[in-house]
């Protein structure tokens, strides 16, 4: 190469961060070491499957959201904290909100998805989402005010009976105990539609055990400061609610939808099995914003597990494209499904195993500990998990 490759990675979630880390580890010839830039609007990576544990105090922010600067130290990857304003595929440039520009030879799009709260009147103004550390802090503050009030019951409506809705409902019920009055609202006829039957049943049992009301085949018509309007069949009911949490659906940002690429009806970018954007081989797309079929033609799910696996292939294929090697088609491997169902409870289905309760909870903890981004952070968190119960026991 006559110049250093410019590799720009937009988004520091599972897809983006793990692509950057893997790229920094690949055997680049000394004369061909690329300039790798990772861009994210937050200063911290979020291990999103553990976000629920913040609400119950089981984990702390530093454990699930280490700073990018700490993670990327000594990797050669440059971190830029900024939001993306626009992308120009023709000029191969990215415009950032701080008015700076980044040129690229290869671009990795891993900006993730968004929770679409603009589909129901009042939801954008009055409902809370639960995708980020900021979302968790906003919910924590709202709960703190309610818990300190003299209210006999704290009424929470959770829109969406998918993974986030079910897991969040169980955690909040365990936190609020007898003061909580929770309602889970799902538009279809069952919760966790894509989950294995065992996990569905474990989740239903966990919700019922905690007294969480489940509204199936129910749509949310509007959200206000005082409550929500729900429609079940032909009946419309208005219910007073203290907190509305919106967890339903995944949307794609306007920036991604506006790009001159091939999109599916949901606005996702269509990629090849090598994770390259159709007709734009210098651009790679992964995670929630990508519509991808793997090497065997199977639809790749938009999950953290899939994004984590895609990162390895994206890094390899960027490296291969830069060094004249063949690219590898992505092969998705389903590693089972883990759900947290409250404090000290979870469910797991996979590899012929079906587990729930404390055993599944421990398995989930260990599996996700292994997935934390660096060995140093894994050791710090793992040691804290060992030490904290000992300190608590001594203190008591």
Sequential DSSP letters for 234-262: TEEEEEE-SEEEE----B--HHHHTSSS-
Task: Please check whether residues 217 and 303 belong to one and the same domain.
Answer: no
Count how many residues are written for the chain: 396
CA atoms of 221 and 218, how far apart (whole Å): 9
Structural domain contains residue 131: yes
Q: What is the pLDDT confidence band of residue 112, given thresholds at 50, 70 and 90?
A: very high
Residues 104 and 139 in one domain: no
| pLDDT given for residue 70 in this prediction | 96
Residue 203 makes CB contacts below 8 A (sequence gap 6+) with 166, 170, 191, 192, 195, 339, 341, 347
Q: With respect to residue 232, please indicate whether it lies within any of the assigned structural domains.
A: yes
Same domain, 240 and 134: yes
One domain, residues 18 and 99: yes
User: What is the average pLDDT across 144-155?
Assistant: 94
Residue 51, in any domain of the structure: no
What percent of the chain stands above pLDDT 90?
A: 91
The answer to whether residue 231 is domain-embedded is: yes
**One domain for residues 106 and 87:** yes
Q: Are strands 235-240 and 180-185 parallel, antiparallel or unpaired?
A: unpaired
Mean pLDDT of 105-133: 94
Listed residue (272, 334, 267) closest to 304, CA to CA: 334
Are 356 and 339 spatial neighbours (Cβ–Cβ below 8 Å)?
Answer: no
**Quick one: pLDDT at residue 1?**
43
For residue 165, count other CB atoms closer than 10 A to its CB. 22
**Confidence (pLDDT) at 230:** 96
pLDDT in tens, 311-338: 999 999 999 999 999 999 999 999 999 9
- Among 149-153, 261-265, 384-388, the range with the most confident prediction by mean pLDDT is 261-265
The per-residue pLDDT for 272 is 97
Percent of the chain with pLDDT over 70: 99
Residue 28: CATH number of its domain: 3.50.50.60
What whole-number distance in Å separates Cα of residue 294 and Cα of residue 329?
7
Instruction: Say if residue 224 is in the same domain as residue 259.
Output: no
Residue 190 lies in a domain: yes
Instruction: Give the position of tokens 């007294």.
Output: 211
Residue 316 lies in a domain: yes
Residues with Cβ within 8 Å of 334's Cβ and at least 6 positions away in sequence, in order, are: 305, 350
Sheet holding 93-96, edge to edge: 84-88, 93-96, 101-103
Is residue 380 a contact partner of residue 59, using CB atoms and an 8 Å limit? Answer: no
Asked whether residue 60 is domain-assigned, the answer is: no
Residue of 365, 354, 339, 343 whose CA lies nearest to 162: 339
For every residue of 280-315, DSSP letters joined together read EEEEEE-GGGEE-B-TTSPBPP-SHHHHHHHHHHHH
pLDDT at 265: 94
What pLDDT shows up at residue 388? 84
> Of the candidates 216, 246, 276, which is a domain's last residue?
246
Q: Are residues 131 and 220 in the same domain?
A: yes
Instruction: For residue 47, give the nearest of 36, 62, 28, 31 by alpha carbon.
Output: 62
Last residue of a domain, one of 323, 350, 365: 323
- Give me the pLDDT at residue 396, please: 67
For the residues of 65-93, what is the DSSP string, one character each?
--BHHHHTTTS-EEEEE--EEEEETTTTE
Q: Are residues 303 and 213 located together in one domain of the fold?
A: no
Residues 164-216 have pLDDT tens digits of 999 999 999 999 999 999 999 999 999 999 999 999 999 999 999 999 999 99
pLDDT digits (tens, 9 = 90+) for 76-107: 999 999 999 999 999 999 999 988 999 999 99
Please tell me whether residues 382 and 347 are part of one structural domain: yes
Number of domains in the chain: 3
Q: Is residue 147 part of a domain?
A: yes
Per the DSSP assignment, residues forming a β-bridge with 154 are 180
Contacts of 261 by beta carbon, 8 Å cutoff, 6+ apart: 89, 269, 270, 277, 278, 279, 280, 283
Per-residue pLDDT, averaged over 295-303, amounts to 94
Rounded Cα distance between 21 and 194, Å, is 31
Confidence of residue 228 (pLDDT cuts 50, 70, 90): very high
pLDDT for position 249: 87
Q: Given this model, what pLDDT does residue 263 score? A: 96
My answer on whether 107 and 133 are in the same domain is no
Neighbours of 357 (CB within 10 A): 14
If you average pLDDT over every residue of the chain, what do you get?
Answer: 94
The C-alpha atoms of residue 247 and residue 172 are separated, in whole angstroms, by: 14
Residues 278 and 192 in one domain: no
Does residue 293 share a domain with residue 199? no
Considering the entire predicted model, what is its pTM? 0.92
Spatial distance between the Cα atoms of 373 and 47, rounded to a whole number of angstroms:
9
Residue 101 lies in domain? 6-41+82-114+251-323
In sequence order, which residues have a C-beta less than 8 Å from that of residue 108 and are 6 or more positions away? 7, 8, 9, 10, 11, 15, 16, 19, 283, 284, 285, 286, 314, 318
């Amino acid at each position: 190469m006559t110049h250093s490759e410019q590799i720009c990675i937009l988004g520091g979630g599972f897809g983006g961060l793990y692509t950057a880390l893997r790229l920094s580890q690949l055997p680049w010839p000394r004369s061909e070491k690329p300039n790798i830039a990772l861009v994210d609007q937050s200063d911290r990576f979020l291990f999103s499957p553990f976000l629920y544990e913040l609400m119950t105090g089981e984990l702390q922010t530093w454990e699930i959201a280490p700073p990018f600067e700490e993670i990327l130290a000594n990797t050669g990857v440059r971190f830029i904290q900024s939001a993306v304003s626009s992308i120009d595929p023709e000029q191969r440039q990215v415009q950032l909100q701080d008015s700076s520009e980044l040129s690229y030879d290869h671009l990795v799009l891993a900006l993730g998805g968004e929770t679409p709260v603009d589909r129901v009147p009042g939801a954008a103004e009055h409902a809370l989402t639960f995708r980020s550390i900021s979302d968790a802090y906003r919910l924590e503050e709202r709960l703190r005010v309610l818990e300190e009030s003299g209210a006999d019951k704290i009424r929470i409506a959770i829109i969406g009976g998918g993974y986030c809705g079910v897991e969040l409902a169980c955690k909040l019920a365990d936190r609020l105990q007898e003061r909580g009055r929770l309602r889970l609202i799902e538009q279809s006829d069952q919760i966790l539609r894509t989950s294995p039957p065992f996990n569905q049943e474990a989740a239903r049992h966990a919700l019922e055990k905690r007294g969480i009301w489940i509204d199936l085949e129910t749509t949310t018509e509007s959200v206000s400061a005082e409550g929500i309007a729900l429609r079940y069949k032909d009946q419309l009911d208005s219910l007073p609610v203290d907190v509305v949490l919106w967890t339903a659906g995944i949307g794609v940002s306007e920036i991604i939808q506006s790009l001159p690429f091939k999109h599916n009806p949901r606005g996702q970018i269509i990629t090849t099995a090598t994770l390259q954007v159709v007709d734009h081989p210098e651009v790679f797309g992964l995670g929630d914003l990508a519509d991808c079929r793997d090497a065997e033609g199977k639809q790749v799910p938009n999950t953290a597990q899939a994004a984590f696996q895609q990162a390895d292939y994206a890094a390899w294929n960027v490296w291969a494209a830069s060094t004249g090697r063949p690219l590898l088609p992505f092969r998705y491997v389903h590693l089972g499904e883990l759900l947290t169902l409250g404090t000290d409870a979870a469910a797991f289905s996979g590899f012929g195993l079906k587990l729930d309760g404390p055993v599944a909870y421990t398995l989930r903890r260990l599996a996700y500990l292994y997935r934390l981004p660096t060995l140093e952070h894994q050791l710090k968190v793992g040691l804290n998990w060992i030490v904290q119960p000992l300190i608590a026991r001594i203190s008591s």
